[in-house]
Amino acid sequence: MTNKGREFEIERYRIDQEPFYVESQGEVGLFTTAAQNRMPVMLKGPTGCGKTRFVQHMAYRLGRPLITVACHEDLTASDLVGRYLLRGQETVWIDGPLTLGVKHGAIVYLDEIVEARKDTTVIIHPLTDDRRLLPIEKKGQIIEAVDEFLLVISYNPGYQSVLKDLKQSTKQRFVAIEFDYPAPAVETRIIEREAGVTGEVARALVKLGEKVRNLKHHGLEEGVSTRLLVYAGTLIRQGVEPGRACEVSVARPITDDADMQRTIGELIKAVF
């Protein structure tokens, strides 16, 4: 691929419009400083609390392309680094997302990295110290990351277990920014904006969210995310009855336990 072709390829990862994000604890400044000093960043927090939106927002603010990789248990090192493929009668090398980011100064975001295989996450280690190197074994090459490259991972400690947890050797290569569900006033503002509902509806959804999250240590594995509350608000704006909207956006997605669903159903009735 020509240099012009590579430039076109990386440009498609740029974010043209600023993603809506409300800062809560100085995370914008922390991330900016880390990026300026080429320090890899780990975002810790529950599902749906705004980690991905934050990375999108920061990529826009910093003017860097953003390459997002959704990690899963079948993710291989080749999926990240690249592989040889047959094209017609010839074999060509295709850069993976990590290699593309290293070469062209993108933010590479490995979402829910704990889901990836341990032998896959090891390849990021040389990129997360002062070497900032990416070995490509199949080509016999070692690539040095350009200054603008930044590695970001997300991690949900709530799901950690013996089988699914980050090794200390990986954790201690990152600066960590903690995330949690937004404060009520901030979450209300987010739901109003993202779902297009009135302040009254947004406040009711935030109240419901708080009540459901209080069940987390009483049989519920994970609290309801801001994302799901936005879904509920969107359905309400589209004319779905509030109770039904909350049932399909809140109660059903977060638990399969019939008793817990009934409990959440009572909370929905109490709020709406």
Q: Which two tokens stand for residue 82?
A: 């690249």
Which of 178, 205, 221 corresponds to the end of one domain? 178
Count CB-CB contacts under 10 A for residue 20. Answer: 12
**pLDDT single digits (tens) 39-78:** 999 999 988 899 999 999 999 999 999 999 999 999 999 9
DSSP label at residue 40: -
Q: Which two tokens stand for residue 209?
A: 């969210």
Looking at the fold, whether 256 and 164 belong to one and the same domain comes out as no
- Minimal CA–CA distance to 226: which of 176, 269, 182? 182
Report the predicted TM-score, pTM, of the whole model to 2 decimal places: 0.88
Looking at the fold, whether 49 and 105 belong to one and the same domain comes out as yes
**Burial call 181-212: b when 16+ CB within 10 Å, e when fewer:** bbeeebbbbbbbebbebeeebbbbbbbbbbbb
The CATH number given to whatever domain includes residue 26 is 3.40.50.300
Looking at the fold, whether 201 and 72 belong to one and the same domain comes out as no
**Secondary structure class of 183 (helix, strand, coil):** coil
Domains in the chain: how many in total?
2
- Give the rounded distance of the alpha carbon of 243 from its chain centre: 29
Count CB-CB contacts under 10 A for residue 95. Answer: 20
Which of 156, 178, 200 corresponds to the end of one domain? 178
Residue by residue, pLDDT tens for the chain (272 residues) are 444 455 567 889 999 999 999 998 999 999 999 999 999 999 999 888 999 999 999 999 999 999 999 999 999 999 999 999 988 889 999 999 999 999 999 999 999 998 888 878 889 999 999 899 999 998 999 999 999 999 999 988 866 554 567 888 888 999 999 999 999 999 999 999 999 999 999 999 999 999 999 998 787 888 899 999 999 999 999 999 999 999 999 999 999 999 999 999 999 999 99
Domain that holds residue 196: 184-271
Looking at the fold, whether 163 and 235 belong to one and the same domain comes out as no
